[in-house]
A = this chain, B = another copy of it.
Amino acid sequence: MTPDTMKPFLEPRSVAIIGVSRVTGPGTYNILENMINAGFSGRVYPVNPHADEILGIKVYPSVLDIPEDIDLAIITTPRLEVPRIVRECTQRGIRAITIVTQGFADGDDEGREMQAEIVRIARQGGARVLGPNTWGTANAFNNFGSGFSPMMMAKIPIGFISQTGFYFGLPAVAGKGIDLGNACDIDFADGLEYFEDDPDIRLILLHIEGIRNGRRFMEVAARVARKKPILALKVGRDEEGARAAQSHTGTLVGKDEVYDAAFRQCGVIRVGDLEEFEDLAKAFLNLPPMRGRGVAVITPSGGAGIMAIDLLRKHHLRLARLSPATLDRINAFTSAWQRIENPADIWPAIAVAGHPLDEVFTTVLDSLLQDEDVHAVMLLLPTTQAEQKAKVLEIIERGGEKPILRWPGTPEVEQPGAALEKTGRIAVFPSVDRALRALSHLHGRWSYLSIDGDRT
């Protein structure tokens, strides 16, 4: 198997859609219509024996009648017709087949038998099958998508391999997506190999119900994880979930602890839900590596600083131990009875000693970034004023590559003055807990990559 396996699924130049409905418009789930609306520029050949033309496009009675080469066939007919159509596709020389139709291993015994037959037919004919029971593939970089609901695409540098199509119908979380569905043939390892050296993709998200070929997955994942972060949302943790997964995609779900250990061994980062995935994606795509566990906290609220200490411990990070030189610099501002330490409560310097907020903040940030034991800075600040922007950027440059995270103080409302994070050097999170959880994974990734040698 070569990394080219997935190319026709994500970069097809010509596509046949077998079983296109004549009914179009909102609520009709017409794949052809969605594909055209998305702006796909390749050739599209609809197949339907009962129509001549759909949306002004010539329709063929059978895939055998299409006069040109087809990179990808997408099958959406009722399930009983699927084995015959797969055979016709292989006769036509098609090597990539997406089966959208449901009711195979996700259905009943008859479905399971048909799925096995499809795999046999495809193997004999030299074709690879994605699905059945899948949304197929989506690629925002060439406006291609096989979803039956309208898809919102954005060129986000995330590759998504899933066993659910849910996220295909929603605002884009990934620039390229592969829904494995029942995964009768194409599996996670194939998707990982496609994204491995893909210059559009900098981070990979897996949504896993179960993996059949564990050995191959671990080989490929361990190799790819050294090049790009792989985040895994593994679901079906308990018996009830496992049973539901079996009826969802016919997947056999293994013991949860086995997955945990396997992920750790091959450097795959397990996330608990999609919210955690979004947080980690934000950190990995926007922040530099975290080269140690020491965190400096800057806040105008002693109370907020104390909350952060609890959460540092929760996420296996620690307060940076500031050097005497750093302490001298940041305490130039304070009155006799108040010292700034870490967390750096900057409020007394402003309210008691009367220094301007901007001056205190930039001096403290500068000093902390230059401290050797500070590996990241957490800002608990309601606003970062636009006027400071140039100066803060200069300070960040001088401080070297250290992650800077900010919690604006409220989960719901983004403050109007929050301009700094637009620079891409500060990532903003809706809670300190989530910020530090992401930071902890950033450090874990750095540790993982710092280990010499091949773990595969």
Instruction: Specify which chain B residues have a CB less than 8 angstroms from the CB of A46 in the assembled complex.
Output: none
Q: Does A315 contact B (CB under 8 A)?
A: no
How many copies of the shown chain assemble into the complex?
2
Question: Smallest CB–CB gap between A350 and chain B, Å?
Answer: 8
Q: Are B351 and A306 in contact (CB under 8 A)?
A: no
CB-CB nearest 7 A-B residue pairs: A164-B303, A248-B302, A166-B301, A107-B337, A241-B309, A275-B431, A108-B337
Question: Given known contacts A27-B356, A111-B337, is B169 in contact with A303 (CB within 8 Å)?
Answer: no
Residues B352 and A102 in contact, CB atoms below 8 Å apart: yes
Whole-angstrom CA separation of A170 from B209 in the bound complex: 42
Task: Report the Cα distance A258→B284, complex, angstroms.
Answer: 38
Per a CB cutoff under 8 Å, which of B171, B273, B338 touches A103?
B338
B-contact 0/1 string along A393-433, CB 8 Å cutoff? 00000000000000001111100000000000000001111
Q: Which residue of B lies closest to A319 (CB)?
A: B240
Q: Is A313 an interface residue (CB 8 A)?
A: yes
Whether B103 contacts A170 by the Cβ 8 Å rule is: no
Contact assessment for B244 and A302 in the assembled complex, using a CB-CB cutoff below 8 Å: yes
CB distance from A162 to the nearest CB of B (A): 7
CB closest residue in chain B, given A305 = B244
Give the Cβ gap from A335 to chain B, nearest Cβ, in Å. Answer: 7
Residues of A participating in the B interface, judged by any CB pair closer than 8 Å:
27, 29, 102-103, 106-108, 110-111, 148, 162-167, 169-171, 173, 207, 209, 233, 235-238, 240-241, 244-245, 247-249, 272-275, 278, 300-307, 309-311, 313, 319, 335-338, 341, 343, 345, 348, 351-352, 356-357, 382, 409-413, 430-434
Given A103-B335, A166-B304, residue A343 in contact with residue B238 (CB < 8 A)? no
- 16 residue pairs of the A-B complex, CB under 8 angstroms, read A107-B337, A111-B337, A163-B303, A166-B409, A170-B382, A170-B409, A209-B306, A233-B307, A235-B303, A235-B306, A235-B307, A241-B306, A244-B305, A244-B343, A248-B306, A275-B430
